[in-house]
Amino acid sequence: MRNAGLGGWPARRARMSPHRTAFVSADGPLSYAAVHERTARLASRLREAGVRPGDRVAYLGPNHVAFTETMFAAHVLGAIFVPLNFRLAAPEIAYMLDDSGASVLVYAPECAERCAAATAGRPGPRTLVALESPAAGELHYETWLAGGDPTPIDTPVALDDIALILYTSGTTGRPKGAMLSHANLVWNCVNLLVGVDVTSTEVTLISAPLFHVAALNQTLLPTFLKGGTSVIMPSWDVDLCYDLIEKHGVTWMFGVTAMFAAFARSPRWPRADLSSLRTLMSGGAAIPVALIRTYQERGLTFCQGYGLTETAPGATFLEAGESVRKVGSAGVPVFFANVRVVRPDLTPVAPGEPGEVLIQGPNVTPGYWRNPEATAAALTEGGWFHSGDLATVDDEGHLYIVDRVKDMYISGGENVYPAEVESVLFEHPAVAEAAVVGVPDERWGEVGRAFVVPGAGAALTPGELQDFLLPRLARYKIPVYFDIVGALPRTGSGKICKPDLRAMPMPADPEERP
């Protein structure tokens, strides 16, 4: 087989374990043999549509088996897969299609209206494939795939060839397309399998969106590589999550803070049978220690990692054996990567001193698609990637993510890290979510503004929250403004969109700072 990339995985896995279940979805189970055949048929259709090595094939829609089939089929041909955030508006989708130059777009029915608006009057993509109800001139996914040639295609693909273009959240300016090579993805899987005891009998719940690097590269691809089963949820739903864990005996799941917080606050939490779960994994942002302990008190192993889209994503990981002793830590560098925490002059920080995280290794992006300026700014001599994240390191080398560099603010000459304040706010029993930003202040330069979402049926007041924080934080860290809100704005990857919070009109003047 000349395909050294992910395009060869369905054939290799079908050769080893054809009858094992690869995917479970609302449409039923799909074996590895079936995945191989369907991928081959779809690849032949993409080739008929003119897709060649290096061309871009895009997918727009919630989690679905078609996502994985389109990805693998593109990789069979040496093409580049471009998963798009289905929550975006039409102009944002149009920008990514134009920027990537995608020649084929596969889309879900939920996205039909935005797809039409994003592609109207544009030269590309030249081939539109709808999962359901195609418009005039479009193709129906299942019908098109079924008529494809099942004869395997063996296109030469090297590990250094680009496999994915993943657009960053775009919290500042236009989103950038982070390129990940097949080697980046393979090495990330190796690093993950070193840190997590994934088995061939794994039943992995894919509940976070697959267009996000963590759901795809930290759970689905390692499970596929090991020959386990991925249970695909279209989108996050607390009750469905409980149902699928019970029905399929889920052993492993990934989530972000909001997902795990909602899961633990469900009325089903006290009585649910979670005995099948071997590993819970989180990343993407610092997880409040109080939330991690909630899971540990249920006897569940909760492992936190740290990474970015540009590092495929795993950069550090806290293995199960250290998950209690080092609770709240993002762990140590993954096996095949180097991580440094440095001052602005690039000298190493002392234990406990915040600094920027730099990552180097075979999992690090070769750069941004058609954006040499951004590539040069992010990657410095020696291949070190500047994360823009702040962390501390303890005397045993474990990292603790503090915050984004740009989220830190200075109040009265003191550095304030919003993630620390958010973590303490989360300890309040009536707080479901919290986000803190710095806002201008004539006296202090900047002060904190907290946006707090109460739990179901709970009532909160700014005074109550301020009183809660007073004995727990230094006074300069306590927000001056407290906004009680129903929800927080989010990026496509589920992270809280702090630029939107900073742009909100200021409330009435607060009372004197405590």
pLDDT tens-digit series, residues 303-336: 999 999 999 999 999 998 898 899 889 999 999 9
**39-50 burial: b if 16+ Cβ within 10 Å, else e:** bbbbbbbbbebe
How many H helices and E strands in the chain? 16, 27
436 touches 449 (CB < 8 A): yes
User: What is each CA distance from 321 to 90, 257, 314, 325, 330, in whole angstroms?
Assistant: 46, 21, 18, 8, 13
Q: What tokens does 108 get?
A: 């879900």
pLDDT tens-digit series, residues 269-291: 999 999 999 999 997 666 788 88
Q: Could you write out the DSSP letters of every residue in 216-234?
A: IIIIIHHHHHHT-EEEE-S
pLDDT tens-digit series, residues 350-408: 999 999 999 999 999 999 999 999 999 999 989 999 998 889 999 999 999 887 777 88
DSSP state, 88? Answer: S
Which residues, listed in sequence order, are joined to residue 356 by a DSSP beta bridge? 342, 390
> CATH 3.40.50.12780 residue ranges in the chain?
232-361+369-405
Confidence band (pLDDT; 50, 70, 90) for 171?
very low
Q: What tokens does 130 get?
A: 């709808």
Give pLDDT, residue 82.
Answer: 98
The listed CATH number (3.40.50.9100, 3.30.300.30, 3.40.50.300, 3.30.1700.10) that belongs to domain 409-502: 3.30.300.30
Residues 6 or more apart whose CB falls under 8 angstroms from that of 116 comprise 135
Amino acid present at 126: R
6-158 belongs to CATH 3.40.50.980: yes
Predicted model pTM: 0.86
Closest CA to 305 of 324, 329, 338: 329
Residue 191 has pLDDT above 80, yes or no: yes
* Cα(425)–Cα(499) distance, integer angstroms: 20
Under DSSP, is residue 440 helix (H, G, I), strand (E, B) or coil?
strand
The bridge status of strand 127-130 relative to strand 28-31 is unpaired
C-alpha torsion sign, points 264, 267, 270, 275: negative
SS (H, E, C) 92-152: HHHHHHHHHCCCEEEECHHHHHHHHHHHCCCCCCCEEEECCCCCCCCEEHHHHHHCCCCCC
What percent of the chain stands above pLDDT 70? 96
For residues 440-449, average pLDDT: 86
> CATH 3.30.300.30 residue ranges in the chain?
409-502
The owner of tokens 């993943």 is 166
Superfamily of domain 232-361+369-405: ANL, N-terminal domain (3.40.50.12780)
Other Cβ atoms less than 10 A from the Cβ of 5: the count is 24
Q: Could you write out the DSSP letters of every residue in 173-220?
A: SS--EEEEEHHHHHHHHHHHHHHS---TT-EEEE-S-TTSHHIIIIII
452 touches 465 (CB < 8 A): yes
Residue 258 has pLDDT above 60, yes or no: yes
* Cα(25)–Cα(19) distance, integer angstroms: 17
Torsion, Cα 202 208 210 213, to 10 degrees, reads -90
Torsion, Cα 492 494 496 500, to 10 degrees, reads 20
For residues 465-471, average pLDDT: 94
Give pLDDT, residue 442.
Answer: 79
pLDDT tens-digit series, residues 67-117: 999 999 999 999 999 999 898 888 889 999 999 999 999 999 999 999 999
pLDDT tens-digit series, residues 199-227: 999 999 999 999 989 999 999 999 999 99
Residue 30 has pLDDT above 90, yes or no: yes
The owner of tokens 């001193």 is 353
Residue 495 has pLDDT above 80, yes or no: no
User: What is each CA distance from 285 to 62, 233, 401, 508, in whole angstroms?
Assistant: 22, 22, 8, 31
C-alpha torsion sign, points 305, 312, 65, 159: negative
409 touches 444 (CB < 8 A): no
> CATH 3.40.50.980 residue ranges in the chain?
6-158
Cα 382–chain centre separation: 26
Confidence band (pLDDT; 50, 70, 90) for 493?
low
Under DSSP, is residue 400 helix (H, G, I), strand (E, B) or coil?
strand
